[in-house]
Amino acid sequence: MMNSSRVGDELSIRLQKLHSFYTNQAHIWDIGCDHGLLGSSFRPYPVDSIHLVDPSKPVIDKLLKNNIDSYITKPKVFITHATGQSLTIPERNNLIFIAGMGGKEIGEIITHLLPQLDNTSKIVISPHRKILELRARLHELNLGLDDELVLQEGGQYYQILSLIPGSVGPKVPLYGEKLWDSEVGELYRAHQLKNFATHQDPISKGYWNFLKLRNSANLT
């Protein structure tokens, strides 16, 4: 069994930041949970249930071996072999994490889950790729942006977005607004300007022009 008192110490910088978006939600969902560390880190918290979900049978078998899948203890812990695109979430007041996936898959999961949720819930995501395409999709959905940031870990940059179902808050911006306001954001912008300089598709060109104009504005 995993020692829940040490889970927080085992979280990476990125997972710690994801964890920090908890604001007393009753139900925790770690979709595409892999090792299950993020979801399991809420065991000492006053939550009603923790759901560790992954489409990989070997991952689920390992979680079942090393964790308690309990319907009796509090919090109740459910370990589920499923895709995010097939989940049913009946409760209100959920904190839903979707991290470590591509933007296309995250977009599909959110599109599937959104009709089941109201603004008592929060969705926190950290995509690995196809972020521009994902932002364009999220911009069209009935979602409000709670917060967004970028962090650096292991030589990689990671965007994190906190989303509220419904029209609470501003729409998800296509290229990000708050991302660029920190020291890491400045480094990330320079990194993205370099990476997208040779891209010719319309989405990438629009992004590059946005970054270039924003950089020029900061220099004046």
Is the pLDDT reported for residue 30 higher than 50? Answer: yes
Q: What is the pLDDT of residue 6?
A: 42
Rounded to 10 degrees, the C-alpha dihedral 51/4/66/91 comes to: -10
Give the pLDDT mean for 166-192.
93
Ranking 19-23, 73-77, 103-107, 205-209 by mean pLDDT, the lowest is 73-77
User: At residue 93, what are phi and psi to the nearest 5 degrees?
Assistant: 60, 55
Whole-number percent of the chain with pLDDT over 70 = 91
Q: What is the pLDDT of residue 214?
A: 82
Give the pLDDT mean for 49-63.
96
Q: What is the pLDDT of residue 71?
A: 67
Q: What is the pLDDT of residue 152?
A: 96
Band of pLDDT at residue 196, cut at 50, 70 and 90: very high
Q: How far apart are CA 175 and CA 193, in angstroms?
A: 12
Give the pLDDT mean for 136-164.
96
Cβ neighbours around 28 below 10 Å, total? 26
131's CB contacts (< 8 A; 6+ apart) are: 103, 159
Listed as own residue / partner, the contacts of 202-210 with beta carbons closer than 8 Å and 24 or more positions apart are 203/132, 203/133, 203/136, 204/132, 206/174, 206/175, 207/132, 207/174, 207/175, 210/174, 210/175
Q: What is the pLDDT of residue 67?
A: 78
Is the pLDDT reported for residue 10 higher than 60? Answer: yes
The domains of the chain, with CATH numbers, are 4-173 (3.40.50.150), 182-220 (no CATH)
